[in-house]
Structure 1
Amino acid sequence: MSDSYDAITGSTAAEIASSVRGLIERGSLAPGETLPPVRALADSLGINRNTVVAAYRQLAATGLASGHGRAGTRVASPDPVAQEGFAPRSADRPAHARDVGTGNPDPSLIPDPSRALARAAGRPVLYGSPVVDPELERWATEFLGADLAPDELRITVTGGASDAMDRLFTAMLAPGDRVAIEDPGFLTGIHTLRIGGYPAVPVPIDDEGITVAGLRAALEQGVRAIVCTPRAQNPTGVSLTPSRAAELREVLADHPYVLIIEDDHFSLLSRRPYASLIGPGHERWALVRSVSKFLGPDMSVALVATDPRTAERLGMRLRPGIAWVSHLLQRLALVLLTDAETRADFASAAEHYAARNDAFCAALARHGIRCAPGDGLSVWVPVADAASDVTARLAEQGWIVRSGDEFRVSPDSPRSHHLRVTAHDLTDAEQESLAAAIASA
């Protein structure tokens, strides 16, 4: 530590941050290494402690360092976050292995957009045009507004749910602000927090959604935002119940300026009612509904309803002609979302996912594994042994599943005893075979 004192120089926050950055780039400070305590470095440099605090904040804002409370500030060593989609190929993966950990929708249930393209094409959109297509805005106001208590709302369109979260964090938070997020949680949400320099505060969930005690604990830690999945929580499939939502709104009534972000990604495919944390008097909120689960991830469109102030801040990062979502995509999404035949396809897809998840849970039950089918594209399967051990054994049998460890918000969280399995596209015989393999593993 004394070497670090001598190596770090500077009399201003910018100079100190630049000095630390140089040491990191040269390898003199390694990932995970603790920086000198604020008081000690300030005394060593003969400067005010607030200057060192400001320097460390600058380092955190650029992702070079991270605060760990009483454990001090460390050189950033971000733990890798698994990605959604297909598992990466590896040398020890059997060539015949079946990947049932993707979390993907069934491609055959994603509507073919070719029929709608002619209706979506038309007038050119030029600089100075509205960021949101006016017709889509009118439809989205009714679609999202029907489920929201606040009287005033604004509609924004982003390039998917992850883009919405990233823009909301950047617009409404400062690096270093704490954010409450479900644990286990959505991989993209966890990744967005880590690379943005926002410390994640894990909030446990049960079969009714995030817990009241967990939310209270997060608020006591000073979180500035809360990320919640009201339905089909990924990875567990849990949906927020109306009674739990009412309890959580009561807790949040004393914190009206904490930003609530609800990621209702499964909206048109869900078999659960929408229950919200957003109360009528809440000041900062956003309801995000992407189209990726029913129109496909490549559509890259999310509808975002917010309070007027949040919309204003968010709109500053969606400038006309520069950072807006393509109006062609917006109009194509609107054509598909309002087409009667396509909406019937959504209903059929919803029935398919629900029925196949129910069937897989029934297959597991026949092999002594009890689990609720939940909502969404996957099933959260409990296992007796550590999930990482079970996934390794299943890989040897030709099945690639997701270990619950991948969805932990913090590497310090307890080891998981769950698997996330995407089995909706398996036949009955394949589901039975997979259930038997999990039981034996």
Structure 2
Amino acid sequence: MGPDLPTRPKDRITVERDLTLEITGRTAADIAADVRALIERGALRPGDPLPPVRSLADALGVNRNTAVAAYRQLAQAGVVIARGRGGTSVADHAAVAQEGFATDSVLRDVATGNPDPDRIPNPAIALASVAGRPVLYGEPVIDPGLERWAGDWMRGDLAPADVRLTVTSGAADAVERLLAQSLVRDDAVALEDPCFLTSIHTVRVGGYRPVPVPVDDEGMTVAGLRAALEQGVRALVCTPRAQNPTGASLTARRAAELRGVLQEHPYVLVIEDDHFSMLSRRPFHSLIGPEHRRWALVRSVSKFLGPDMCLAVTASDPDTAERLAMRLSPGTTWVSHLLQRLVLALVTDEEVARGIEAAGAHYAERNRAFAARLTALGVPAEHGDGLNLWVALPVPARDVSEQLMRRGWLARAGDAFVLADAPAARRLRLTVHDLADADAERLAADIAAAVRAAGGRLETPLATEAARGSGMIER
């Protein structure tokens, strides 16, 4: 290897010339090793382009297929990202934003994505009833009592006749394992755009290639899904209701249209993450048709029993269930049967059930009320389903969030949820269901003031109503 390359910003021509001097390998493995050495030394940084395959092959005097194989090895290792005609560049492993409180902030946090802790059932009474016979190695992964209850909870919403159940340590754990048992690095995965932060993180860490599918007020779009399938996606992750961040839910019509598109692709793994389940104010409509061969419906309990209750039930086809169970064998990564019994005790308790229903109504009403406050102040807003509001702005969201920080609020700009170039850069995602009325009124007024300070124009109530009637306001 030659001397260190400069670390100043480089244009494509400079990078290509310098790299062909630094890369000296003659085999695919040696070429890949040279590139990795450049990255480890800091001579190549995230986003830097690599030479086109033809240019590299010509400079090294090797067959073009050798250079292709080297780049393929790097892509499969997650070191580089190949974008077809867009070229190959060094992968950026920057951390994905996560849900939860900003613990080091003195600002009032309205970006948490958390449920209301006062509406999470107290497990203390149920805890005493779940202790019993110890569970030993080799026993079933899923507790028999929970399996009977979950069968009723899941099977009625699924078209396929052969449904198998298992449990995982939450929905994110289920999705990660489902993808890992079906895909290899650089496989394409269709994700909603804008997308749940955890799904973005899971796909990036797994080394898969995210393919964005736009979401509108009826959920994942038909044209977007069709385009993703044409790009060869091997799996898709969909939120059938209370989509995070938009709050959109699949309508019966949209779900039927999407099932029609998927009929021609029965072996694409369809993962439905019905995270809001018992709290949802919307009916459940599935993408999974009766003849689809590879599928999974995941429902966690974290939104209504609390994030610390790390348990999700997964219903899937037999082959997918078998592969998932192999990754959850007792003695390795099974889900505690004490936790399973505790969940069963809570979800079958009538008082807890009433509390869950009341919590769902509370979230919907508080979001509706806040959307009405914003609309009255000239920031047209619609409320969907779920814990959050997805608020459209007439100016970039980052400008508004900066203004809100000066007023004591910590809000989340929509671009954290974006996969492709999308209008989410002019969106705020807000978690407001735990605000008292006085605080909600102050936040709404501060958002309107922040929009004005950022150079935006507020809508009058009359103009807002006319725009909604004409379809100009995006829901």
What's the CA shift for 1:406? 1.3
Structure-1 residue corresponding to 2:267: 257
d(CA) in 2 for partners of 1:13 and 1:113?
57
Note if contact 1:61-1:196 (Cα within 8 Å) is conserved in structure 2.
no
Task: Write the deviation string for residues 104-135 of structure 1: whole angstroms up to 9, x where unpaired.
Answer: 00001111111111222222222212222222
Structure-2 residue corresponding to 1:351: 361
Letter in 2 for 1:26: R
Residues 1:290 and 2:273 aligned together: no
Task: Write the deviation string for residues 72-125 of structure 1: whole angstroms up to 9, x where unpaired.
Answer: 2211113432111123636xxxx4x31111110000111111111122222222
Any idea what SS the aligned residue of 2:181 has?
A: helix
Residues 1:424 and 2:439 aligned together: no
| Pairing 1:16-415 to 2, within 5 Å after superposition | 16-45=31-60, 48-87=63-102, 89=104, 95=106, 97-410=107-420, 412-414=421-423
Instruction: Classify 1:413/1:381 alpha carbon distance in 2 versus 1 (closer, same or farther; 3 Å).
Output: closer
Task: Write the deviation string for residues 379-421 of structure 1: whole angstroms up to 9, x where unpaired.
Answer: 11121111111111111111211111111124x4455221111
Note if contact 1:286-1:307 (Cα within 8 Å) is conserved in structure 2.
yes
Tell me the TM-score normalised to structure 1 length.
Answer: 0.94
d(CA) in 1 for partners of 2:155 and 2:124?
30
What's the CA shift for 1:319? 2.2
Note if contact 1:57-1:176 (Cα within 8 Å) is conserved in structure 2.
no
Quick check: 47-56 or 137-146, which moved more? 47-56
Note if contact 1:153-1:306 (Cα within 8 Å) is conserved in structure 2.
yes
* Greater relative contact order (CA < 8 Å, ≥ 6 in sequence): 1
Instruction: Classify 1:325/1:60 alpha carbon distance in 2 versus 1 (closer, same or farther; 3 Å).
Output: farther
d(CA) in 1 for partners of 2:43 and 2:254?
50
Note if contact 1:131-1:318 (Cα within 8 Å) is conserved in structure 2.
yes
Any idea what SS the aligned residue of 2:275 has?
A: coil
Any idea what SS the aligned residue of 2:254 has?
A: helix
Instruction: Classify 1:394/1:274 alpha carbon distance in 2 versus 1 (closer, same or farther; 3 Å).
Output: same
What's the CA shift for 1:270? 0.4
Letter in 1 for 2:37: G
d(CA) in 2 for partners of 1:280 and 1:190?
29
Runs of 5+ unmatched residues, structure 2: 1-15, 451-475
What's the CA shift for 1:12? 4.9
Instruction: Classify 1:126/1:381 alpha carbon distance in 2 versus 1 (closer, same or farther; 3 Å).
Output: same
Instruction: Classify 1:116/1:181 alpha carbon distance in 2 versus 1 (closer, same or farther; 3 Å).
Output: same
Instruction: Classify 1:311/1:365 alpha carbon distance in 2 versus 1 (closer, same or farther; 3 Å).
Output: same
Any idea what SS the aligned residue of 1:191 has?
A: helix
d(CA) in 1 for partners of 2:68 and 2:133?
53
Instruction: Classify 1:48/1:386 alpha carbon distance in 2 versus 1 (closer, same or farther; 3 Å).
Output: same
Structure-1 residue corresponding to 2:446: 437
Note if contact 1:66-1:197 (Cα within 8 Å) is conserved in structure 2.
no
d(CA) in 2 for partners of 1:125 and 1:169?
29
Instruction: Classify 1:6/1:316 alpha carbon distance in 2 versus 1 (closer, same or farther; 3 Å).
Output: farther
Letter in 1 for 2:438: A
Tell me the TM-score normalised to structure 2 length.
Answer: 0.87
Runs of 5+ unmatched residues, structure 1: none
d(CA) in 2 for partners of 1:205 and 1:415?
11
What's the CA shift for 1:271? 0.6
What's the CA shift for 1:316? 2.3
Task: Write the deviation string for residues 37-77 of structure 1: whole angstroms up to 9, x where unpaired.
Answer: 33444455555544443433332233211112212221111
d(CA) in 2 for partners of 1:220 and 1:171?
23
Root mean square deviation, CA, Å? 1.8
Quick check: 197-206 or 231-240, which moved more? 197-206
Aligned residues: 435
Note if contact 1:105-1:377 (Cα within 8 Å) is conserved in structure 2.
yes
Query: Which structure would you say has the larger Rg?
Result: 2
Dislocated runs of 4+, deviation >6 Å: none
Any idea what SS the aligned residue of 1:381 has?
A: strand
Any idea what SS the aligned residue of 2:308 has?
A: helix
Percent pairwise identity: 63
What's the CA shift for 1:226? 1.2
Any idea what SS the aligned residue of 1:226 has?
A: strand
d(CA) in 2 for partners of 1:30 and 1:439?
40
d(CA) in 2 for partners of 1:433 and 1:335?
41
